[in-house]
Structure 1
Amino acid sequence: MIIKQLLAFAAVVMLASLVVSVNGSNFAFYKLSLTWPNSVCKITTCKVPIPTYFTIHGLWPTLSTGKPVPPYDPVSNKCNRNPISPDNIVGELAPIRDKLDKKWPNLWLHKTNVDFWKIQWQHHGMCSDYPRDPLDYFRDTLDLAQSKRFDPFKALGVQPSDQTPHLLDTLLKNVKKNFGAYPQITCSMPKKGILLLKEIRFCLKRTKKTPPSVVQDCPTTFGDQCTNPLTDYVLLRATPTIFGLHNVTSDLLAST
C-alpha cells in the first residue's frame, strides 16, 4: 500500500514538472543570435550580394539550462494563449519591412525573407513575451541588433580577416571584457581543419519588461563545430568562403 502511494506521489510530481516546463516557467532568458554571412554562404547557394555585416538569426526564448524553449504546440506546449499564427504576421510587419529585409534577410537562395521570418516566429516568437505582437517582437530584435551595445566587432575586439585565426578562448574573454558577459559562439567547418565563426549569441535575462536589456553569461559558451576553446582557432573571414558546393540550409536553420 505504501509503495503504491509513493508511486502515485512520484507520478503526480513528474506530471507537475512537465506542466511547469510546458507552461514556460523555466523560460529564463533570451538569446540574440547574429550570423556572420561569410561563414555560412557559398556564392553558388547564397543570394548576392552577400551582406558584409552581421545579420539577425533570431531572438530566442531559452530555458535556464541553455536549451531553447520548445516551439508552440496547442497540445504539447501551449506556452501562450492563442498566439498569432505565422501566416498572419506578414501584414503586421509592413512598417518595418525595409529594415527587416536589410538586417534580417534569409541568406539561402531558394527561400524568401518572409519564409525565414515565419520560421522564426513559429519556433520562437509564439513562445516569447510577444505572442500577440509580432511587430514589437521583430522591431525590438532589430533595435537590439542595431544598437552599438550589441556590435559583434566591438565585443569580439577583432575585425574580419582571411589570414588571421583567433583562439576561441581569446574571443570569448574579449567579449566578456568588452561586453560584460560571456556570449555563445558557434562555428562552421566547410572544409576539414578550417573553423569559421558562424554566429555570436548574446544572452539577456527575461524580465517583466520588454525588450530584454539585462545581459548575463550564456550557460554554454560555444557550440556546433567549435568543441574546445583552448585549442580551436577560428577565422572571421573578410570574403565569402568558396570551398566547393555546400548547402547552407542546415547552417541557417541550425538551432532554430
Structure 2
Amino acid sequence: KLLFLTQYYPWIHVTNILCFCFPQMSANDCQDPPEYWTIHGLWPDKGEECNRTWHFNVTEIKDLLSDMRHDWPDVLHSSLNRTQFWKHEWEKHGTCAATLQVLNSQKKYFGKALELYQRIDLNSCLLKAGIKPSSSYYQMPAIKEALTTFYGVTPKIQCLPPEEGEKAQTIGQIEFCFTKELQLRNCTTLKGESDPMQAALKLGTEELSVCSDTLPTYYPSQVQ
C-alpha cells in the first residue's frame, strides 16, 4: 500500500574522518562522502512477495549509472565493489516493490527511485529554507515546518542521539511516504497500516530514531 523513499546524509555515516579508505584502495581512490542528501532506498511497506532468487544485474541499469553514482552513491564499499549497496537494495527491497507494475524490473525500480528523488529535490528545499550544513544548531520544529510547508505533507525525520556529554541530536535520514500510485502522503500511521519506522529499521540503521522536537539539532558540515 505504501512506499518509502528514504534519503540520508552520508556524512554522518563516516564520522570524524575527512577521507575514507579501504585496504584495497589506492590513495587516489580515497574520497570524501557527499555533502548532500542521497538515496538510501525505495522501500515497500510489506515484503511478503519478495523473490530472493531475482539477483541484481548491473547491466540492466547501465543507462542509469551516471545518475546512480551521484544520487545513490555507495559510501560504504570500495570502488572495486561499489555496486554492493544497489545489490542489497534490489534483493532486499526492490524484489518486494516489483509486485507493482511500475516497479517490476530492475531498470524500472531504480529509475523510478531516481525520478522520485529528483522530484522531491530535498537538497534545494532545505537550502531555500536556509537550512544547510553548519556548526550552529537548528531547532527540529523549524525543520519540520519548512519541509511540511514546501511539500504539503509531513515526512519522517530521523536523527542520531546525542553522543555522551553532548546535547544535540544529529539529523541523518528523511523519509518521504508515497501511495502505490506514487503520490506523496503524510508519513503517519493509519489503522491497519505498517509503521514506516519499521521499514527504516530494516536497513541496519538501528541507531537512528525519530528526532526529538526539544533537542537542538546538528546538521554537520565537512568544513568546521
Instruction: Point out the structure with max Rg over C-alpha.
Output: 1
Q: How many residues align?
A: 193
1:227 and 1:126, CA in 2 relative to 1: closer, same or farther beyond 3 A? closer
**TM-score, with length taken from structure 1:** 0.65
1:114 aligns with 2:114: no
Output the CA distance in 1 between the equivalents of 2:214 and 2:113: 33
Q: Answer yes or no: is the 8 Å Cα contact 1:165–1:234 preserved in 2.
A: yes
Q: Which amino acid is 2:86 matched to?
A: W
| Pairing partner for 1:57 from 24, 31, 40 | 40
Q: Which amino acid is 1:232 matched to?
A: L
Output the CA distance in 2 between the equivalents of 1:228 and 1:140: 28
| Pairing partner for 1:125 from 83, 94, 113 | 94
1:105 and 1:45, CA in 2 relative to 1: closer, same or farther beyond 3 A? same
Over the aligned positions, Cα root-mean-square deviation in angstroms equals 2.9
1:154 match: 125
Q: Answer yes or no: is the 8 Å Cα contact 1:153–1:159 preserved in 2.
A: no
Q: Secondary structure at the match of 2:31?
A: coil
Q: Which amino acid is 1:172 matched to?
A: K
1:202 match: 176
**TM-score, with length taken from structure 2:** 0.74
- Structure 1 residue runs of 5 or longer lacking an equivalent are 1-27, 63-68, 71-76, 242-256
Q: Answer yes or no: is the 8 Å Cα contact 2:3–2:180 preserved in 1.
A: yes
Displacement of 1:45 in angstroms is: 4.2
Identity of aligned residues (%): 21
- Structure 2 residue runs of 5 or longer lacking an equivalent are 22-29, 189-194, 201-206
Displacement of 1:190 in angstroms is: 7.2
1:108 and 1:96, CA in 2 relative to 1: closer, same or farther beyond 3 A? same
Could you list the structure 1 runs, at least 4 aligned residues long, displaced by more than 6 angstroms after superposition. 220-223
2:109 match: 137
